[in-house]
Amino acid sequence: MTISVSSDHAGYELKQKVIAYLKEKGINVIEEGAPSGDKPYSYVEAGCALAEDVLSGKADKGIAICGTGIGISIVVNKYKGIRCGLCNNEYTARMVRQHNNGNVLAMGARVVGQAVALGMVDAFLNEEFAGERHAERVGDICKVEEKNFK
């Protein structure tokens, strides 16, 4: 499994913690976004790089981090085929996979602590899509994308 992890400057420190955690688990990581936390780095650029990694198949899933998680989640959801959930706890991280077949987890470095963030990473990566009634709704999401992404 390969995971793309990207952040703006505000999420840089948490991004480094997440990357180290994933590597400890033997997961391949593509690091995108801010090269440090010292200079401003756009969550737009960081989100675009991550979305392109996932859509191209370079990465199986993505983890997007900015100060609140809001901006970067909006950006990645502008890509057809991305289903990103902004999560604040393990439950929502499980649900974005289980109910929405999400392929990107977003979080806010100024919103969640490190322990919660790493718990969300585990929940997101270990949860399977439940299918059944949820598959119909994910199909409906894809229909909305087909209609509105031109």
Active site residues: 66, 99
The token duo for 6 is 């990207």
Task: Tell me the three-class secondary structure of 51-78, residue by residue.
Answer: HHHHHHCCCCEEEEEECCCHHHHHHHCC
Which DSSP letter does residue 9 get? S
Q: Which residues pair with 106 in a beta bridge?
A: 64, 86
Contact residues for 143 (Cβ-Cβ < 8 A; gap 6+)? none
In 3D, which of 69, 77, 87 has the Cα closest to residue 144? Answer: 77
Cα 146 from Cα 128, distance rounded (Å): 25
